[in-house]
């Protein structure tokens, strides 16, 4: 009955059907659960044991006793979590989770799952269409990114996704579904990819027991160009993001920066708003100047007014009946350095009292300090920086709650950052300064909590991305954030359940949650609305920030009340 499946391949969940000998839920006649502690310390972990668990009769005690007094297998109690009786009947196969070995593979056969492509191969300036699962495809390599400035491993044929899963169902024996988190990457609608290793989904999938999906969408002008009275209707990138199906009760969309602005646009669109059970928006740029570009939408006439330059520069005559053919013949790399906004009949997302209600929870927040310092050519200046991010992020949440637009809302301010390698907008402003005993930076000293500084913590990829933990809190803090984000996807509440954490042995996160105290939804019981995400002892609830500054700028909490 026992079937051994190496975890190494599973831990990154690269699926393959090309290896004839690969085990599959079908060949085993059982579901496969992959349970690993994954403490985010990478190959420095002391918790090297993981298990592939097969749902064939075998009591928990029997399964564990087979492996002697392997204390590390305690985390398998998680398989009984949420069940009323201790009826767990599992076969556990412990194996190392430190190897980075792709040679052992697992196949899956789903209802004709297409693993590598989620939408039709996009014709330039044409809406993509969601393709339901059709065939089984090898997915061992990252596919090309969408066209972006200076790219090489890129293509217009880029509508692909990556999937990490802690569980492979056998359709014959189980109808269990995991919660799904769908990530929309940021970078100004201009660059980026779902295959960026910063967004490696292993940690969220393995710790959070969710299926994690990252995906590409068209960028730059290729994602948005719209011209009135032509077939160019814009929103190609947004439609790419909208191309997904599945159980609407189990899908949370989340994104950062332009990705968060995308989540916001998807929630505003009748095409996508009813497909999700939750939404998480990290650092949505909104407000004045540069940032307004992300979250205020153009109408087609407004977008058309912007076409002059680009149409002229391509050499395609704007009056040409064959404009589309002409534009499709242009080198795509010459089109992407430009950006355009999403197209909508409404310049702002509908948040007023008359806005349609969306019965889902949202979680939204920003970096705790200076929202900007984000753009290489637009360094931090004034109060206006805060206005871009903070004031209107607060107004969005405040107004949405006041007008009951969402079922409930949680707000946070992120107060610990470790910047992404290769990206330092204003060095060394976004780095904690080194002090004696802290050669990699001392996060207890003041430093700017810059835009995008949350990504490594949210994905648990600090070590994976080669950043050495600066102190003993960096990784436990990331554990806490990973567990918080996935808890929101599983339950709609950004607080991991204590029994869940106990079952998994997430002792650090337990301590964080206890130290931080209750995290109430915005607008409930006069509680302070913002959870400051910081190390144990510094996490707290706070009032909306920068009230005076906001009012001076005319970006008060009521800013969005008139919208839509
Ligand atoms: C452990 O990981 C680090 C970087 O994360 C790498 O430099 C080192 O070679 C790895 N060690 C082993 C034994 O794999
Ligand atoms: C799977 O694909 C085959 C052929 O491509 C088709 O006949 C069959 O109906 C598909 N099954 C499902 C469940 O979509
Ligand atoms: C396009 O460029 C030409 C010169 O190259 C200029 O005369 C014309 O006004 C431009 N048209 C638009 C719509 O900008
Ligand atoms: C908790 O954090 C400490 C460092 O502060 C670390 O040594 C330990 O391994 C962590 N425990 C777990 C369960 O991840
Ligand atoms: C093809 C197209 O729509 N061209 C338009 C570009 O914008 C100018 C000015 O807004 C219009 O006059 C063109 O018709
Ligand atoms: C809230 C906060 O940290 N504000 C800081 C933003 O950056 C400027 C310097 O550019 C500081 O003076 C502010 O205190």
Per-residue pLDDT reduced to its tens digit, 185-219: 998 889 999 999 999 999 999 999 999 999 999 99
Give 232's pLDDT tier (boundaries 50, 70, 90): confident
Instruction: Report the alpha-carbon angle 466-468-470, nearest 5.
Output: 150
Compute the distance between CA of residue 469 and CA of residue 475 in angstroms, rounded to an integer: 7
Q: Give the residue whose CA is nearest to atom 3 of ligand 5.
A: 227
CB 518 within 8 A of CB 539: no
Residue 52's nearest CA partner among 37, 39, 36 is 36
Helix axes 474-491, 507-516, angle to 10 degrees: 80
Q: 165 or 100, which is more confident?
A: 165
Q: How far is the CA of 83 from the centre of ligand 4 (A)?
A: 28
Compute the distance between CA of residue 273 and CA of residue 251 in angstroms, rounded to an integer: 11
Q: How far is the CA of 159 from the centre of ligand 2 (A)?
A: 22
Residue 421's nearest CA partner among 461, 393, 381, 394 is 461
Cβ of residue 315 lying under 6 Å from some atom of ligand 3: no
Cβ of residue 524 lying under 6 Å from some atom of ligand 3: no
CB 541 within 8 A of CB 519: yes
User: Nearest ligand to the C-alpha of residue 415?
Assistant: 6
pLDDT at 100 over 50: no
Count how many Cα atoms sit within 13 Å of the Cα of residue 65 in the half-sphere of its side chain: 5
Cβ of residue 308 lying under 6 Å from some atom of ligand 3: yes
Measure Cα distances from 251 to 141, 182, 206, 408, 488 in Å.
25, 7, 17, 16, 11
Cβ of residue 200 lying under 6 Å from some atom of ligand 6: no
Strand partners, 343: 298
CB 563 within 8 A of CB 349: yes
Cβ of residue 468 lying under 6 Å from some atom of ligand 2: no
Cβ of residue 312 lying under 6 Å from some atom of ligand 3: yes
Q: 525 or 325, which is more confident?
A: 325
pLDDT in tens, 53-87: 776 544 555 545 555 445 566 676 776 676 644 44
Give 480's pLDDT tier (boundaries 50, 70, 90): very high
Q: How far is the CA of 46 from the centre of ligand 4 (A)?
A: 9
How many residues can be counted in the chain?
Answer: 564
Q: Give the residue whose CA is nearest to atom 1 of ligand 6.
A: 369
User: Nearest ligand to the C-alpha of residue 131?
Assistant: 2
pLDDT in tens, 459-478: 999 999 999 999 999 999 99
- How does strand 358-367 pair with strand 530-533? unpaired
Q: 561 or 150, which is more confident?
A: 150
Ligand 5 pocket, residues with Cβ under 6 angstroms: 227-230, 304-305, 307-308, 318, 323
For the CA of 508, the closest atom of ligand 4 is 1
Q: How far is the CA of 312 from the centre of ligand 3 (A)?
A: 6
In order, the DSSP letters of 343-405 are: B-SSSS---STTSPPEEEEEEEEEESS-S---BTTB---SHHHHIIIIIHHHHHHHHHHHTT-
User: Nearest ligand to the C-alpha of residue 136?
Assistant: 2
Q: How far is the CA of 305 from the centre of ligand 5 (A)?
A: 7
Q: CB neighbours of 130 closer than 8 A, spacing ≥ 6?
A: 118, 119, 242, 243, 244, 245
Q: Is the pTM of this model over 0.75?
A: yes
Q: CB neighbours of 470 closer than 8 A, spacing ≥ 6?
A: 418, 432, 438, 440, 441, 442, 443
Q: Give the residue whose CA is nearest to atom 13 of ligand 3.
A: 308
Torsion of CA 395, 396, 401, 403, to 10 degrees: 90
Cβ of residue 42 lying under 6 Å from some atom of ligand 1: yes
Cβ of residue 43 lying under 6 Å from some atom of ligand 1: yes
CB 138 within 8 A of CB 146: no
For the CA of 463, the closest atom of ligand 1 is 5
pLDDT in tens, 409-461: 999 989 998 988 777 666 677 889 999 999 999 999 988 787 788 999 999 99
- As to burial, measured by CB atoms within 10 angstroms (0-12 exposed, 13-18 middle, 19+ buried), residue 504 is buried
Under DSSP, is residue 10 helix (H, G, I), strand (E, B) or coil?
Answer: helix
Q: Give the residue whose CA is nearest to atom 9 of ligand 1.
A: 43
Cβ of residue 460 lying under 6 Å from some atom of ligand 4: no
**pLDDT score for 380:** 44
Q: How far is the CA of 330 from the centre of ligand 3 (A)?
A: 18
Please give the mean pLDDT across all residues of the chain. 78
Retrieve residue 24's tokens.
């599959």
pLDDT at 111 over 90: no
Most confident range, picked from 124-128, 294-298, 542-546: 124-128
Count the Cβ atoms, other than its own, within 10 Å of residue 258.
26
């Amino acid at each position: 009955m026992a079937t051994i499946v190496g975890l190494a391949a599973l831990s990154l969940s690269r699926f393959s059907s090309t290896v004839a000998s690969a085990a599959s839920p079908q060949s085993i006649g059982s579901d496969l659960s992959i349970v690993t502690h994954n403490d985010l310390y990478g190959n420095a972990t002391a918790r090297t044991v993981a298990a592939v668990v097969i749902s064939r009769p075998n009591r928990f005690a029997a399964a564990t006793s087979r492996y002697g007094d392997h204390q590390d297998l305690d985390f398998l109690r998680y398989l009984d979590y949420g069940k009323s009786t201790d009826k767990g009947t599992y076969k556990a196969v412990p194996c190392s989770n430190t190897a980075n070995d792709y040679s052992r593979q697992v196949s899956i056969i789903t209802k004709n799952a297409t693993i590598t492509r989620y939408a039709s191969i996009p014709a330039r300036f044409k809406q993509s269409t969601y393709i339901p699962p059709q065939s089984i495809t090898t997915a061992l390599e990252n596919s090309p990114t969408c066209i972006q400035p200076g790219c090489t491993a890129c293509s217009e044929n880029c509508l692909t996704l990556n999937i990490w899963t802690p569980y492979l169902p056998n359709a014959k024996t189980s109808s269990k579904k995991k919660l799904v988190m769908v990530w929309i990457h940021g970078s100004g609608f201009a660059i980026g990819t779902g295959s960026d290793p910063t967004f490696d989904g292993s940690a969220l999938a393995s710790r959070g027991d969710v299926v994690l999906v990252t995906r590409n969408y068209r960028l730059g002008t290729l994602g948005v160009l719209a011209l009135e009275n032509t077939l160019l209707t814009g929103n190609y990138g947004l439609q790419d993001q909208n191309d997904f199906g599945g159980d609407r009760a189990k899908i949370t969309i989340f994104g950062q920066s332009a990705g968060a602005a995308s989540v916001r646009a998807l929630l505003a669109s009748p095409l996508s708003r009813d497909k999700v059970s939750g939404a998480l928006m990290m650092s949505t740029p909104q407000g004045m100047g540069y940032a307004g570009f992300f979250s205020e939408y153009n109408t087609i006439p407004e977008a058309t007014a912007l076409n002059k330059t680009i149409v002229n520069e391509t050499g395609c005559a704007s009056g040409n009946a064959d404009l589309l053919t002409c534009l499709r013949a242009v080198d795509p790399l010459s089109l992407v350095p430009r950006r355009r906004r999403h197209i909508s009949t409404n310049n702002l997302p509908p948040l007023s009292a008359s806005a349609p209600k969306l019965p889902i929870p949202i979680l939204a927040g920003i970096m705790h300090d200076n929202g900007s310092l984000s753009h290489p050519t637009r360094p931090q200046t004034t109060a206006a920086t805060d206005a871009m991010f903070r004031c209107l992020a607060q107004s969005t949440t405040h107004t949405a709650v006041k007008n009951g637009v969402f079922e409930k809302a949680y707000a946070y301010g992120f107060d610990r950052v470790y910047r992404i390698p290769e990206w330092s907008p204003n060095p060394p402003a976004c780095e904690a300064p080194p002090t004696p005993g802290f050669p990699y930076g001392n996060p207890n000293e003041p430093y700017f909590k810059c835009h995008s500084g949350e990504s490594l913590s949210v994905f648990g990829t600090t070590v994976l991305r080669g950043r050495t933990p600066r102190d003993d809190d960096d990784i436990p803090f990331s554990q806490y954030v990973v567990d918080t984000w996935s808890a929101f996807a599983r339950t709609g509440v950004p607080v991991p359940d204590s029994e869940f954490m106990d079952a998994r042995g997430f002792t650090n996160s337990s301590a964080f949650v206890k130290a931080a105290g209750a995290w109430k939804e915005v607008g409930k019981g006069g509680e302070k609305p913002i959870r400051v995400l910081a190390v144990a002892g510094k996490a707290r609830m706070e009032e909306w920030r920068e009230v005076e500054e906001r009012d001076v700028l005319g970006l008060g909490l009521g800013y969005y009340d008139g919208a839509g």
